[in-house]
A and B are shown apart, each in its own frame.
Chain A
Amino acid sequence: MDIGSKKITLILIAVLLIACRGRLPPENWPGLTVSEGTIYVTPSDGKVYALDMETGEKIWEFPPEDEKEIGPFYSQPAVGHFVFVGSYDGKLYALSAETGERKWTFPTKDRIFASPMVEGGVIYVVSGDHRVYAIDADTGEMIWVFETGNWIWATPLINGERLYVCSMDHKIYCLDRATGKKICDFTADGALAGKPALARNSIYFGSFDGKVYSVDALNCEKIWDFKTGNWVWGEPLVVGDYLYIGSLDGRVYCLDLSNGEKIWDFKTGGMVRGGVAYYDGTIYAGSEDGKLYALDANTGREKWTFFAEASIFSKPVVANDTIYFVSQDGRVRALSARSGEEIWAFPPIE
């Protein structure tokens, strides 16, 4: 190789090194919870915000402006005694709902992606360290821990004295809520990343094998499954005799709860990752194409859409005739649930 070729080689290596640069910082996945007139949200900037539900005005933020940034926060906040939120640094934070002041933290050994679940003074948190922890909500002391075979990215589900946990090891576990002992489990053909739903003594959940499953809540035996065109990640929603769920094949499905037969499906312009919401005969679903869809719950017919200009991967929330959602650019929006007209946005759009 002559000098000219060597110089070109060095330039190409420089280009390669720029193109193959080291791992980019992880990107956030916004989450939103509504409780008692306040919205708690974890948008893309690594912080937790409390916003007034009516106006979108900021009440507090965590960590405060003068403190070092923590996170990013992937998990949707959970509200109980305090506001509980898991972080990329592996810690569960308990914050005052009024002021955002940190009350306690609980360390796990890996990142926390799922929203915790609060019930009866106990908080259940899952982690990338393969474990589900039961923690005293007041003190942050561990009560018990259960280990699965892989990361846990799904919020657990509580049903009386039982706790259901979906793991990336392809299993859903049914645990005794008081002791953490396993009662039964079911193995799907793919990873389980979304929160399950409960209705009529059955547990419903989606899988990376593309299926929606129904299993018996008592003995974990399969009742039925339904195949979509790609991974199913979102939390199923049960309304009456029907189950609504989105798939990464871009569709929102309505299934018969008793046998999994498809009633209708609606095709969006991108993946439907998050769960769906229901209000007054309407199903709301966010899509990767940046739109929030309002569909007739009986027929799947489109009522209206709202274009958010960034993908929507989180589940929308409905309260007081208003639909709240956060898009991938970190913007929180409140829309009229009936017309889709925007009421406010945070941060405000200039």
Chain B
Amino acid sequence: MSQLWNLLLLQPMINGLLFLYQLLWKNFAFSIAILTVLVRLITLPLTLPQQRSAKVMQELEPKVAKIRKRYAKDRERQTKEIMKLYKEAGYNPMTGCLPLLIQFPIIIAFYQAIYRTLADNPLQMLSLAKYIYAPRLSQLIPLESRFLWLNLARPDPFYILPILVIVTTWLSQKIATPPSTDPQTASMNQMMQIYMPLMFGLLTMSWASGLAIYFVVTNLVSIIIQYFVNKYTTLGHKKLRKRR
């Protein structure tokens, strides 16, 4: 299993980072940023349904609220009518988390790739030797890990990146989560919007700053994609218009 992981995910990412490092004036921060954008573009078919679903939910919310009100005393009927509404709208509630399930291995592999490529002690360097395809890329080792005030292999000493991670994660959550009239959903949304940014921000305080750059860039990409999704996605379904 681990060989498959290395072959399909980890090794291509490590070599991708090294290749970009060679192209981008031996700047590892740029390599992380560009590879993040490329990975997000490649996984766009998987993540777009999730980001569209937020917009669709926003449009369906008033109708869902009406159904909840109408069948307040009949939970079973309420659920049945809501699921029917989703089906007519072509909305699948599971689209919220399935793309995330698929993205997770990519995120974990990217994390491992950044750490391995920034090897700064002999045992880590030894491990890196197994992953590099071409001798030409070996000539880049060790990488220049300094970028502005940062050592990309170490946490940000001034906590600027963790703050950026908190802010961009919050923004990304905010733009992707429509307001809800259901108290339980609203409460869960609020919790996500507070705790998730804080959690990531706190963790990036102890992670290599290269990884924090990955999180900031991936959040910015999410925000941009969500902006265009919100602008251009509508339901436009005949049956739903009739339901109004």
Choose among A7, A19, A113 the residue that contacts B108 (Cβ–Cβ < 8 A).
A19
Could you jot down 20 A-B contacts, CB within 8 Å? A2-B93, A7-B188, A8-B96, A17-B199, A17-B203, A19-B111, A22-B203, A22-B206, A23-B206, A74-B121, A111-B121, A153-B122, A168-B142, A190-B141, A208-B141, A209-B139, A230-B129, A231-B138, A248-B129, A273-B126
- Closest A residue to B135 by beta carbon equals A210
Chain B residues within 8 Å of A273, by CB: 126
Q: Is A27 an interface residue (CB 8 A)?
A: yes
Please state if B108 and A20 are interface contacts (CB–CB under 8 Å): yes
CB distance from B214 to the nearest CB of A (A): 10
* Count of A-B residue pairs with CB < 8 Å: 104
- Judge whether B125 and A9 touch: CB under 8 Å: no
Contacts of A231 in B (CB 8 A): 129, 138
- Contacts A20-B211, A190-B141 known; 14 new A-B pairs at CB < 8 A: A1-B54, A1-B177, A3-B185, A5-B96, A12-B100, A15-B104, A16-B104, A20-B207, A23-B208, A74-B122, A208-B138, A208-B141, A210-B135, A233-B126
CA of A273 to CA of B120, assembled, Å: 17
CB 8 Å contact bits of A269-295 with B (1 = contact, 0 = none):
001010000000000000000000000
Chain B: how many interface residues by the 8 Å CB criterion?
A: 41
Q: Which 3 pairs between the two chains have the least Cβ-Cβ distance?
A: A5-B96, A1-B96, A22-B206
- Chain A residues within CB distance 8 Å of chain B: 1-10, 12-13, 15-17, 19-20, 22-23, 26-29, 74, 111, 113, 150-151, 153, 168, 170, 189-191, 193, 208-210, 230-231, 233, 248, 271, 273, 313
Question: A6 near B192 (CB under 8 angstroms)?
Answer: yes
Could you tell me the distance in whole angstroms from the C-beta of A37 to the nearest C-beta in chain B?
A: 29
CB-CB under 8 A for A209 and B135, given A1-B54, A8-B97, A22-B203: yes
The yes or no answer to B184 lying at the interface (CB within 8 A) is yes
Q: How far is the CA of A317 from the CA of B51 in the complex (A)?
A: 62
- Complexed CA–CA distance, A232 and B207 (Å): 31
The answer to whether A1 touches B57 (Cβ under 8 A) is: yes
Q: Which of A2, A111, A168 has the largest number of chain B CB atoms within 10 A?
A: A2
Binding site for A on B (CB under 8 A): 50, 53-54, 57, 93-94, 96-97, 100-101, 104, 107-108, 111, 115, 120-123, 125-126, 129-130, 135, 138-139, 141-142, 177, 184-185, 188-189, 192, 196, 199, 203, 206-208, 211
| Chain B residue with the shortest CB-CB distance to A88 | B121
Q: How far is the CA of A16 from the CA of B96 in the complex (A)?
A: 17
Which residues does chain A contribute within 8 Å of B96, judged by CB atoms? 1-2, 5-6, 8-9
Tell me, in angstroms, the Cα distance from A44 to B50 when the chains sit together: 47
